[in-house]
Structure 1
Amino acid sequence: MRRVRGKDTQPELTVRRALHALGRRFRLHRKDLPGKPDIVLAKDRLAIFVHGCFWHRHENCPRASMPSTRRELWESKFACTVERDAEQTAVLRAAGWQPEVIWECETRDAEMLSKRLCDIFERNDPE
């Protein structure tokens, strides 16, 4: 598990490139926010988490499979991760931030990712 990266993953880099293409600027991994969001757009008060489907248990995604060995360990680990994600989202919302999750599988299609990001910005636009 030492090889599992927490920062600068390929899905995260893909989202960053898409944001740059849309003309958006951001900060990375702000330590003063709960959960250290992967991407933070402070002007929009938007915190984006780029979650791996396997580790964060993306529902109905084939990448969120359950390992067949040591099942109890994995179930416990995944449950803690999902609970922690929910807590961090709630704290961010309470602080006036809009947390968004982009799943690893959503980054595979550049056009779909761009549309998803545009939808996020439209939803968070105050006008």
Structure 2
Amino acid sequence: MSPETRSRVMSRIRGRDTNPELVISALLRGQGLDFEVHARDLPGRPDFVFRDERVAVFCDGDFWHGWRFSRWRLKLSEKWEQKIERNRWRDARNHRLLRKAGWKVVRLWEHQIEASPEGCLDRILAALGTYKGVGLTKTRQS
């Protein structure tokens, strides 16, 4: 692919309101949960934030965040390999910073959301229910 074509293709990729995020958002709203999106004051700008429960949720794209990166990293140009590696490093740093600040972090991968959105919702609900038990809804209490 030419640099111009690659640039055009990459410029069309969104950083927010991605399909996996929209799926999770709809499921969370279906549970009647209140949450913030892309909180700028938290490391990594989590996709979903539950402040009272101190739970941060990330919906990570398999490519951009390097799911099983060691298996396919050598197929990339050096530029892209470095880009994904920096993303992975930044994700790990933000995870540590959030945990150190007392947050529970839920990381959902794109392929997990596609395969089992309800399973991903269960992971979020479990995190919300086990963190101090504050603000439990009927759905989470049962």
TM-score, normalisation: structure 2: 0.75
Matched residue, 1:35: 44
Matched residue, 1:57: 66
The percent of aligned pairs where both chains have the same amino acid is 35
Residue type at the aligned position of 2:91: D
Residue type at the aligned position of 1:47: A
Deviations 1:45-92 (A, max 9, x none): 1111110011111238xxx8548452x222211110100001111111
* Root mean square deviation, CA, Å: 2.2
Which consecutive residues of structure 2, in runs of 5 or more, have no partner in the other structure?
1-9, 135-142
Residue type at the aligned position of 1:27: E
Residue type at the aligned position of 1:48: V
Identify the match of residue 103 of structure 1 among 76, 87, 109. 109
Residue type at the aligned position of 1:89: H
Matched residue, 2:7: none
> How many pairs align?
123
Q: Structure 1 residue 113 and structure 2 residue 120: aligned?
A: yes
The 1:67–1:7 alpha-carbon spacing in structure 2 relative to 1, beyond 3 Å, is farther
TM-score, normalisation: structure 1: 0.83
Higher helix share: 2
Which consecutive residues of structure 1, in runs of 5 or more, have no partner in the other structure?
none
Partner Cα distance (2:72, 2:93) in 1:
23
The 1:99–1:67 alpha-carbon spacing in structure 2 relative to 1, beyond 3 Å, is same
Matched residue, 1:18: 27
